[in-house]
């Protein structure tokens, strides 16, 4: 796991753990290997960093499941100030305006960085980046890859970047059980994998564990996403914020699977509507903010109506060209989106709250950092604007790394 290891009695507060093998990490330890964790590790180069991941890289991370894409004001009719306004409006009064402005301002540059790392984002016939529309965005500004394979592409890029960066050591099959502290702050991580538990001694731990949607009965998240970062942070004494703010995505495919396949908001961005089984409109504006649409569908269901997505007239036989992964999930369930109504319902999708961090990703415990879905930066407020999470992961991981390097 790190350059040297020995068996010692654990010092200081670590002593309460008895005799454990101690491994000395040469730099920070990143807990989690989704987009945020891997980009933070890569951006820390040339400083050594160890990434621990319970699953093999690329598995069980919600990054890989993201469909819609990454929002950034790169279109000729767009401006980061408009992106900031949309983010603030969707966040319903609970965003931190300064954080919103700084992350949306950094959007175009974040896209350039991802392209430089090798991201293959979709482009139009003229070669310009293709821009999709999602709920509560006033402009087309959602960049995507392979139609609905955006997260998978960004994860591919992040995994490849981490693998080819010599200063990044990746240890798979290991999970963090506890963040250890002493009088100075973080002292290490208690980790387990195959073999006995061990202490990884380090003065910097970066939590990048993702969200908690896997705790819910209806979820679009990997079932392994169960709030591990929150638990580690709370036990280490860190302040958490807004943990009750969980976003429900309105259109999870309701075909009896757990987790539920997502039907991206981008499908509504291409004109699909939300209807009841009898064909009556289920919401006034299918592209309203996500919480508004989810509440409307929930109310319709409470009133006894089935809720469905109708892409027949607008996308019809072109559905699979735009959304190949969603089409294959539908077909696996015996549905053809060009001729069938798709049964959908709200499902837990994203944790807006999390471990309280400052603009650089510092938590309230010295040496403990957090980034990505497990962190609460203040960007999302009470309702995350669609496709702002991959942006936040990209921008904030880089900032965190720059601060930690200095």
Nearer to ligand SIN, 32 or 68 (CB): 68
Longest dimension (CA), the chain: 69
Nearer to ligand SIN, 53 or 387 (CB): 387
User: How far apart are CB 349 and ligand SIN at their closest, in Å?
Assistant: 6
Nearer to ligand SIN, 83 or 349 (CB): 349
Which residue is nearest to ligand SIN, using beta carbons?
68
Which residues contribute to the site for ligand SIN (CB under 6 A)? 67-68, 264-266, 349-350, 386-387, 389
Nearer to ligand SIN, 2 or 133 (CB): 133
Which of these is catalytic: 139, 141, 268, 290?
290
User: How far apart are CB 81 and ligand SIN at their closest, in Å?
Assistant: 21
User: How far apart are CB 269 and ligand SIN at their closest, in Å?
Assistant: 9
User: How far apart are CB 266 and ligand SIN at their closest, in Å?
Assistant: 5
Neighbours of 312 (CB within 10 A): 18
User: How far apart are CB 129 and ligand SIN at their closest, in Å?
Assistant: 17
Is position 290 annotated as part of the catalytic site? yes
Nearer to ligand SIN, 188 or 250 (CB): 250
Q: Which residues are catalytic?
A: 290
């Amino acid at each position: 796991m790190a350059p040297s290891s020995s068996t010692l009695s654990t010092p200081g507060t670590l002593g309460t753990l008895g005799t454990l093998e101690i491994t000395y990490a040469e730099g920070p330890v990143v807990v989690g290997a989704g987009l945020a964790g891997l980009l933070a590790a890569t951006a820390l180069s040339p400083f050594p960093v160890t990434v621990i991941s319970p699953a093999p890289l690329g598995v069980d991370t919600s990054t890989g499941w993201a469909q819609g894409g990454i929002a950034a004001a790169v279109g000729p009719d767009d401006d980061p100030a408009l992106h900031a306004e949309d983010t603030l409006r969707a966040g319903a009064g609970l965003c931190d305006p300064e954080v919103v402005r700084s992350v949306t301002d950094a959007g175009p540059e974040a896209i350039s960085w991802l392209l430089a790392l090798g991201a293959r984002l979709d482009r139009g016939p003229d070669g310009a980046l293709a821009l999709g529309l999602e709920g509560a965005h006033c402009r087309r500004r959602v960049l995507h890859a392979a139609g609905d394979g955006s997260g998978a592409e960004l994860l591919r890029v992040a995994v490849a970047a981490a693998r080819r960066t010599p200063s990044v050591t990746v240890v798979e099959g290991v999970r963090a059980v506890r963040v250890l502290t002493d009088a100075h702050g973080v002292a290490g991580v208690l980790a387990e994998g195959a073999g006995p538990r061990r202490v990884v001694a380090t003065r910097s731990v970066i939590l990048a564990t993702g969200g908690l949607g896997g705790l819910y009965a209806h979820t679009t998240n990997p079932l392994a996403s169960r709030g591990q970062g929150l638990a580690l942070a709370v036990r280490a004494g860190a302040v958490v914020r807004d943990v009750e703010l969980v976003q429900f995505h309105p259109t999870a495919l309701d075909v009896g699977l757990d987790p539920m396949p997502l039907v991206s908001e981008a499908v509504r961005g291409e004109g699909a509507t939300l209807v009841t089984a009898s064909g009556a409109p289920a919401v006034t504006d299918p592209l309203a903010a996500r919480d508004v649409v989810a509440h409307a569908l929930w109310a319709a269901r409470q009133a006894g109506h089935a809720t469905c997505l109708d892409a027949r007239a607008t996308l019809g036989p072109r559905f699979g060209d735009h959304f190949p992964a969603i089409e294959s999930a539908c077909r696996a369930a015996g549905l053809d989106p060009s001729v069938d109504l798709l049964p959908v319902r709200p499902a837990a999708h994203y944790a807006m709250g999390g471990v309280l961090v400052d603009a650089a990703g510092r938590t309230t415990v010295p040496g403990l950092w957090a980034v990505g879905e497990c962190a609460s930066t203040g960007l999302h407020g009470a309702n995350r604007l669609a496709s702002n999470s991959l942006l936040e992961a990209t921008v904030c991981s880089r900032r965190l790394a720059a601060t930690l390097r200095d």
